[in-house]
A and B are shown apart, each in its own frame.
Chain A
Amino acid sequence: MQNTLLEINEVHKSFGSFKVTDGITLSLNQGEALGIIGPNGAGKSTLFNLVAGGLKPDRGSIRFNGSDVTQDPVFKRCHYGIGRSYQIPHPFANMSVFENLLVGAAFGSGRKESDCYDPCIEILQRTGLLKKANKQAGSLTLLERKRLEMARALATEPKLLLLDEIAGGLTEEECLQLVDTVKGIHASGTTIIWIEHIVHALLSVVDRLMVIDFGRKLDEGDPKRVMNNPKVQEIYMGISAE
C-alpha cells in the first residue's frame, strides 16, 4: 500500500474579493510526480505558497506526512521535508553557488555545517553546477539560476519537491537538460509537484496531471486523458470545444 505524503483538503484563499484558490482538494502519494498546468493567474503558484507555507489558507487544511501543517511557518515546513523553487529565481546573489546550497543543507536538514559539504558537492554534480561552485550566484545565467533554485531545494533533503516553472525562458536544448535532471531526482525517490507551461517537458516526467482554472481544479488524472479533455484544450490551448 502506498503512503500518502500530501493531502490538501478543500483549501480556499482569497485576496480581497478575488478567489485565488477555490476549494482545491488533492492527495499525493510518496514517490509520485504530479504536473500542474493552467492559464496565467489560475492560482498555481498560490497553491505552492499554500503548501510551502508562504501563505495561510482562509479555510481548509493541509496535511504532510500524516501531520496537520496548515498553520506552520515556512521554515518548519522545510524542516518537515517540503522543498521549493521559485518561478522568479531568488538566488543569494552575493554568496557563491556552493554557499547557496550550504544554506539549504545546514538549515533545511539541520546538520552541522561541515557535515553538509559532501552532500552539497554531490548535488552540484547532479545538477550540473559543480564547475560554477565558486561563482557568485548573482552572476549566473538564467538556466544556471533555475538549476540553482532546484539544487538549493534539493540540499534541504526534501521528501516533496515543488518546482515552479523551472523550464520557462529556456532554449529547447536547455529544457531537455533540465528534464533529464528532474527525471533523475524523481528516479531517486523524491516526490515532485511541477508547475509548468512547457507541456511536453512536463509530460515527459509526471505520472499524473492536474489542471487549475480560476482557482478550481478543472481535471486531474492520467496526463494523456487530461490533455484530451475538450474543456482543458479550450481553456489552456484556446481550442474550442464546439
Chain B
Amino acid sequence: MSAIEQMEKYSVARSTTASKGAAVVSAFILIVLISVPFWAARSDLRTVVEFAYYLSLAQMWNLLAGYAGLVSVGQQAFVGLGGYMLFVLAIYLNVPPIAAVFLSGGIVALIAIPTALTVFRLRGAYFAIGTWVVAEVFRLGFAQISVLGGGSGQSLPATIVREIGSGRSEREMIIYFTALFIAVLSVGIVYWLLRSKHGLALTAIRDSEPASGSLGVNMFKTKLSVYVLAAGVTGVVGGLIFLQKLRISPEAAFSVQDWTAAVIFIVVIGGIGTIEGPILGTLIYFVLRGLLADYGSVYMIVLGIVAVVVMLKAPQGVWGLLANKYNLYLFPLRRRLDRKNDLER
C-alpha cells in the first residue's frame, strides 16, 4: 500500500468528545475564578490562592514522580529556595515583588542543576532520601545566614509590601491573580509537555525504563529537564507562598510536611501519572481539610488512613478508578489512529 493511500485511509486524532466538553467546562471555571475577587469574601480568596499553589506543586511532583519516575521527598528545598530568593531579590536587589516571584523560579531552576547531578547518582529509595537530605542541608544553611534572619527568619518590610499594591484589597487581588496565573501556567506546561514528543518519552519512561532506552529515549536528559523544570516552577510557587505570607523562616520554608507530604498525599489520592489526578486530589485534600479542620490532630490521622486505603484499594487513585470505569480522558494527550470500521476501540 502506498503512502498516499495510507494518508487517505488513516488520520491521527488527538481530542475526544469528553476532552472537548472538558475544555468548555474549564474555560467556564476559569471565567468564574477570574470573577471571584469581585464578589467573594477575603478568606475565600486566600483559600483559592492556597488551592492554586497546592495544585501547582502537585502537578510538578506528579510530573517528577508520576512520569519521570523521580520520587522526590525533597521538593520543599525548591519551595524554600523560591521563598528566600523572593526576599533576597525584593529586599536587597530592589526587584519589584511580583517580578521577583518569577525570577526566583529561574534562579531555583539553575540551583537545581548541580543538585540534580548529585541526587541523580542515587536510585529509588536512596534518591528519595537523598532529595530530603538536600532539602535539610538548605534549611540548615539558610538558618545560618543572619542577614536573612537566621533561624528565626524575617518579615517582608512594609515598604516592599506596599510595592505589591497600595491597599490591602489591592494587594490581595494582585496576589490572587498571580496565583491563578501560576496554577494555569503549571497545568498548561504539563499539558503542553505531555502532548508534545517529549510527552511520548515521559509516558514511555513511566511505563518501562529499559524499553525507553532501547527505543532511543535519552533518559538522563529527559529526567534532568523534568527535574529542573519542576524545580523552577516549584520555586515560583515558593516565591508566591511567601509573598502571601509576608514572612519567611527556615522551618516554614523547608517544611517537608507542608510542601511535600501534603503534595504526595494529593497526587496519590487523585491519581499519579495523569494530569487530572492532581486536580481531583487537590479538591479532595481541601474538602477533607475543611471537614476536619476542627478536630486537631485527628485530621492528620484521617488523612493517613485515607492515603493507606487508596494505595491498597485503588493504587491508580480516584481519577484512575473513574478513567478506567468510564474510559475518560479530559486532557487530550492520546494519539488515536482513525480508520472507519477497521479498528477495535
Chain A residues engaging chain B, CB cutoff 8 angstroms: 52-54, 73-75, 78-79, 83-84, 86, 90-96, 98-99, 102-104, 106-110, 112-113, 117-118, 121-122, 125, 130-135, 152-153, 155-156
Cβ distance B115 to chain A, nearest Cβ, rounded Å? 23
Identify which of residues 171-228 in chain B touch chain A, using a CB-to-CB cut-off of 8 Å. Answer: 196-197, 200-201, 203-204, 206-208, 210-219
B337 touching A103, Cβ below 8 Å: no
Q: Provided the pairs A107-B201, A118-B6 are in contact, do residues A96 and B335 lie with their beta carbons within 8 angstroms?
A: yes
B336: interface (CB < 8 Å)? yes
Cβ distance A47 to chain B, nearest Cβ, rounded Å? 15
For this complex, 19 residue pairs linking A to B, each with C-beta atoms less than 8 Å apart, are A75-B216, A75-B219, A78-B214, A79-B216, A91-B208, A91-B211, A93-B207, A93-B208, A94-B206, A95-B204, A96-B334, A96-B335, A102-B335, A106-B197, A107-B197, A107-B201, A113-B200, A122-B6, A153-B215
A94–B1 Cα distance when bound, in Å, is: 30
Give the nearest-CB partner of A106 in chain B. Answer: B197
Place the interface of chain B in its size category.
20 to 34
Give the nearest-CB partner of A111 in chain B. Answer: B197
Q: Which residues of A contact B212 (CB under 8 A)?
A: 92, 103
A108 touching B210, Cβ below 8 Å: no
Cβ distance B11 to chain A, nearest Cβ, rounded Å? 9
B207 touching A75, Cβ below 8 Å: no
A90–B213 Cα distance when bound, in Å, is: 11
B216 touching A108, Cβ below 8 Å: yes
Q: Which residues of A contact B344 (CB under 8 A)?
A: 131-132, 134-135
A106–B196 Cα distance when bound, in Å, is: 11
Q: Which residues of B contact A130 (CB under 8 A)?
A: 342-343
Cβ distance B154 to chain A, nearest Cβ, rounded Å? 47
A156 touching B215, Cβ below 8 Å: yes
B200 touching A121, Cβ below 8 Å: no
Q: Which residues of B contact A107 (CB under 8 A)?
A: 197, 200-201, 215-218
A228–B213 Cα distance when bound, in Å, is: 39
Known: A79-B216, A92-B207, A122-B3. 18 other contacts (CB 8 A): A54-B213, A75-B213, A75-B217, A92-B212, A93-B208, A96-B335, A96-B337, A103-B201, A107-B197, A107-B201, A110-B216, A113-B196, A118-B7, A121-B337, A131-B344, A133-B337, A152-B211, A155-B215
B335 touching A98, Cβ below 8 Å: yes
A103–B218 Cα distance when bound, in Å, is: 12
B10: interface (CB < 8 Å)? yes
Cβ distance A176 to chain B, nearest Cβ, rounded Å? 24
Q: Which residues of A contact B335 (CB under 8 A)?
A: 96, 98-99, 102
B1 touching A86, Cβ below 8 Å: no
B216 touching A86, Cβ below 8 Å: no
Give the nearest-CB partner of A122 in chain B. Answer: B6
Q: Which residues of A contact B273 (CB under 8 A)?
A: 94
- The listed residue (A75, A90, A94, A131) touching B203 by CB distance below 8 A is A94
B288: interface (CB < 8 Å)? no
Q: Using a Cβ cutoff of 8 Å, how many contacts connect chains A and B?
A: 116
- The listed residue (A86, A90, A94, A134) touching B336 by CB distance below 8 A is A134
A84–B219 Cα distance when bound, in Å, is: 17
A103 touching B217, Cβ below 8 Å: yes
A52–B213 Cα distance when bound, in Å, is: 10
B113: interface (CB < 8 Å)? no
The 9 lowest CB-CB distance pairs between A and B, nearest first, are A107-B216, A108-B216, A92-B207, A90-B211, A74-B213, A78-B216, A104-B215, A90-B208, A133-B337
A53–B212 Cα distance when bound, in Å, is: 13
Cβ distance A155 to chain B, nearest Cβ, rounded Å? 8
B12: interface (CB < 8 Å)? yes
Cβ distance A140 to chain B, nearest Cβ, rounded Å? 11
B211 touching A86, Cβ below 8 Å: yes
Identify which of residues 204-256 in chain B touch chain A, using a CB-to-CB cut-off of 8 Å. Answer: 204, 206-208, 210-219
B340: interface (CB < 8 Å)? no
Q: Which residues of A contact B196 (CB under 8 A)?
A: 113
Cβ distance B224 to chain A, nearest Cβ, rounded Å? 14
- The listed residue (B12, B208, B210, B343) touching A117 by CB distance below 8 A is B12
B345: interface (CB < 8 Å)? yes
Cβ distance B139 to chain A, nearest Cβ, rounded Å? 35
Q: Which residues of A contact B334 (CB under 8 A)?
A: 96, 99
B210 touching A104, Cβ below 8 Å: no
Q: Which residues of A contact B12 (CB under 8 A)?
A: 117
B200 touching A106, Cβ below 8 Å: yes
A9–B3 Cα distance when bound, in Å, is: 42
A84–B212 Cα distance when bound, in Å, is: 11
Q: Which residues of A contact B203 (CB under 8 A)?
A: 92, 94-95, 99
